Every structure is written in C-alpha cells, then in structure tokens.
Amino acid sequence: MKEKIEKRLRRKAHIKKIMNNNSKPRLCVFKSLNNIYVQVFSGDNRVLIQASSISKSIRGKINGHKGNVEAAKIVGKEIAELCKQKSIIDVAFDRNGYIYHGRVKALADAARENGLNF
C-alpha cells in the first residue's frame, strides 16, 4: 500500500503546472475507497465549490456503494451544475496524481457532458 501512495505522489509532482496556473479555476479530485470528492479552487487556493458522494444533495441519488463509477458520474454532473450556477465554464482538471481511468475518467466525462470545459 505504501508503494501505491508513493507512486501517486510522484505522479502528482509532475502536475505542478496546473497548480501554478492562476488564469483558470482548478477542479481537484480526491478519491477514497468508499467515496469521491471534488473541489473547485480559485487562483489563490480558496475553495469556490465542492461536491462529494457523501453530501446530502447527492446521497439520495446514489443507489448502493458511494465509491463506484456510477457515483462518480453523479458527482461529476453535480459539480458541473454548481459551476454553471457560479458561471464557471473553463477549469483546469487536476486529477491529483490518480490515473485517468475508472472513477476519475467517469467523473471527468460526466462533467464535460454537462457543460464544463477542461
């Protein structure tokens, strides 16, 4: 398990150009075994919007386990709708060192389908 975390942190170190870009808000993904979390940060690292599989508005829409691909799609749709309400359309996608596969890909695809541009 320790090697897996070290590999993710090594991949995360290569993504510093996204973190230093102040022109667009940054959509950051964190996933645990049981849940998935998404936050949109401003250029000065303030949280503008957040959504997760444990928030009350999303919890009722998810059937079964909250850490699967279907839950990630619902969270991606929700974050896109919240961004539209705050008139945020263009974001930089920060996958936080996770491989673009499975839940991360499902979340990104759902957010794109609902109006976000990365």
Is residue 118 a part of any domain in this protein? no
Q: What is the pLDDT of residue 84?
A: 96
pLDDT digits (tens, 9 = 90+) for 23-76: 889 999 999 999 999 999 988 889 999 999 999 989 888 888 888 999 999 999
Cα–Cα distance for residue pair 82/47, rounded to 1 Å: 13
Is residue 83 a part of any domain in this protein? yes
Cα–Cα distance for residue pair 92/117, rounded to 1 Å: 8
The CATH number of whichever domain residue 20 belongs to comes to 3.30.420.100
Q: Which domain holds residue 106?
A: 2-113
Contact 101, 69 (CB under 8 A): no
Q: What is the pLDDT of residue 12?
A: 82
- Domain total of the chain: 1
Is residue 25 a part of any domain in this protein? yes
% of residues, the chain, pLDDT over 90: 62
Q: What is the pLDDT of residue 21?
A: 67
pTM (predicted TM-score) = 0.86
Q: What is the pLDDT of residue 8?
A: 87
Q: What does 27-84 look like in DSSP terms, one character per residue?
A: EEEEE-SS-EEEEEE-TTS-EEEEEETTSHHHHTT--S-TTSHHHHHHHHHHHHHHHH
